[in-house]
Amino acid sequence: MWRPISELTDWRALSADSWDEISRGRVKLQKHLEAVIKSLHDWQIAERQRWRGWQAGTIKKPSLLVIDDDPVGGRKIVAELEKEGYQVSWARTGEQGLSLLDRQKVDLILLDIVLSDADGLEICRQLKTSPVTAGVPVVFVTAMGDDDVIRRGFAYGGQDYVRKPVKTFELLARVKTHLTIKQTQDQLAQLNTELNEANRIVRDQNRQLIETINELETAAITDVLTGLNNRRYMHTRLSEAIGLAGRGMSGFSLIMADIDFFKAVNDTYGHNGGDSVLRVVAETIRAGIRKIDVAARWGGEEFLVLLPGVGLAEAAACAERLRAAVAGRELMLGDRSLRVTMSQGVAEWQPGDREETVVHAADRRLYLAKSGGRNKVVSEG
């Protein structure tokens, strides 16, 4: 469960680069959504201007295919369409029409139902089952007056029909209507693709933002060098523990630990060697406590461990195990080996104690462990 950045104790400590990364992601998302909205607006304007442009001859008109074996009627249809500026191809047989569609993309098909070599309805069925031509509107041109044939034409996927002899105004009106519908559908399909892409970006950005927030939250409560929690986070957890203990729910104990002669380690092995020692000791502490316990780098070579629900004797036993584990580890710094020890003070929260009270008690006992010879645990005094 992640919390909003605003609730993190030390959100002000986050780097400027981290905030810049989030801001760049939001700007990218906003620009894409603005582009989609602009596409919608541009499309509306383009639709209003499209036919005006065609009329003026400034925009390339759609490509039409006429499949009609009537030499007179077919030629008339082609002529009327070309007068309007359409690009028209004329196939005089069904086979010729299908062959042409394999090589050429068209925007609308005018199809005679009765052809010398094929059934126009069957050709329509083939066109509507092909992914290449399924979206191309088919307008039947027929001299047949049988309503059943017309119904079958619609059932096979035809969009409309014009009866022969063809009336020019009717032909042009129906062609324009179905071209407009197709162009609108094409535009909507493109916009749908863009919106799907926008949704994908939103999902990706949300995921990335959540991951970034989680990473920032972890960074905000973590000591970079040791990987333990940091002092600010320990203050938060101490405040929570005192609140619980004050309501009689559960007490806690603290272990304040300090690496012995750490300055000598830095002086002898350099700061890189000292950092390696801090990491090993932190790793040892982490491995020696429960999952519900909280370990933090308190400052420098000092560590503080919060043990919820643990009394003084049990906490002292835990500290002794940690002391022995640290003392028993051999560290390799380059080609040299090193052993370090750790002194610890243990204190148990008492009713009425504030944070500084119990921390001071653990720190005081740490001082007693240091002054008493180091590499030991003190839980009294």
Residues with catalytic roles: 301
Tokens matching residue 12:
């002000």
**Are 66 and 81 a contacting pair, CB within 8 Å?**
yes
Rounded CA Rg of the chain: 41
Decide the pairing of beta strands 377-378 and 342-348: parallel
Return the amino acid letter for 2.
W
- Cα 345 from Cα 341, distance rounded (Å): 14
Note the Cα 226 to chain centre separation in Å.
Answer: 30
DSSP 139-181: EEEE----HHHHHHHHHTT--EEEESSPPHHHHHHHHHHHHHH
Return the amino acid letter for 319.
A
- Cα 346 from Cα 210, distance rounded (Å): 39
- Cα 170 from Cα 201, distance rounded (Å): 46
- Cα 179 from Cα 272, distance rounded (Å): 74
Give the Å distances, CA to CA, from 253 to 32, 222, 314, 319. 54, 22, 9, 11
- Cα 96 from Cα 136, distance rounded (Å): 17
